[in-house]
Amino acid sequence: MSRLGSLGSLGSQGSPDPEEQRRSITTGTYLAIGVVVVVVACALVAVAVRLFGGDDAAESRGPVEIVPSHPSAAPAAPDSADDATQGLGAPTVDRLGRRVDLPKWAGGWALPQNQIEHGPYSPAAPVTAPAGVSWQKVNDGAIVPFSTSDGPIAVDGLTAVGFAHSPQGAALAAWQIAMRLGASNNEVARKIYDRQVVMSDSQRRELYSQLDSEGPYHRGASDAVLSHQSKADAFRVREYADDMAVIEYASVAQKADDGTDQWLTSRLIASWVDGDWKLTFPEQLGDPTGTSTSLSGWTTW
């Protein structure tokens, strides 16, 4: 089974039926060690990541010191001082016609940071949005958010690193990591798993065994599947502590039969480890997807 769930049947307007998509996710994508599902825009992409699954808490940002470098894996590593790999090129749009920036380096372009005070976290109220959010298409088609307040502070190869020690930083990091995993071949994905994913030893052994059996250039997401991506509409932080965050994301879905707006939702977990947020595979398998007919109580990007 690949890292991606099936796309599902497309509706009359080019969108899969949300209920059919959810059924395909919950019945067709669980591996031996389980699955974490990221639903991207209108339930068009289910990125099924293979799984079933400190001391600096007083600091508002972890001590992440990164010198950007590029891996030997494809795409070929450019000269980091080469203007051709710096900044952003001409933008494009997602499938809903919303702006998406195209970085000159495939891993993305980190934005200048100006840290802001968001205020204390309260589960009774939506968190404030990170500032200066823009979306870039990276790795091999993942559409991910960059902010000017909560990171990432750098792109190291095909990974984004250096997220603020805040609910907003956790939300940015979990989406970035999960989406990059879904859009990467196994060689690149393994580097991300090594560096940015927390899982049990048994999960890692089984996952890496599967990656090895598939080969380094296998990619679960086809170009057709990735072409259906769009930006996530909103997020909400369900739980937050200095060492862990539980975040839900909402992506616009096809309207219900009665014309009601609806969104597909997905849930991810992030852990603060070694001065940065990392995606975490839960040991208990559960369906992390759902639906919502309102964004009340959510934070829009």
Query: Mind listing the pLDDT tens digit of every residue in the chain (301 residues)?
Result: 344 332 222 223 334 444 444 333 332 223 322 233 333 332 223 333 333 333 333 333 333 333 333 333 334 444 455 677 899 999 999 988 999 999 999 999 999 999 898 989 999 999 999 999 999 999 988 999 999 999 999 999 999 999 999 999 999 999 999 999 988 999 999 999 999 999 999 999 999 999 999 999 998 777 777 777 789 999 999 999 999 999 999 998 888 788 889 998 999 999 999 999 999 998 876 778 888 999 999 999 9
Cα angle 160, 164, 165 (rounded to 5 degrees) comes to 125
Provide the whole-model pTM: 0.77
Distance CA 269, CA 198 (A): 10
For CA atoms 208, 265, 145, 10, the dihedral sign is: positive
Distance CA 192, CA 278 (A): 10
Map residue 138 onto helix, strand or coil.
strand
- 55 φψ region: left (φ > 0), alpha (ψ -120 to 50), beta (else): alpha
Predicted pLDDT of residue 66: 33
Predicted pLDDT of residue 103: 96
- Map 8-61 to HEC letters: CCECCCCCECHHHHHHHHHHHCCECCEEEEEEECCCCEEEEEECCCCCCCCCCE
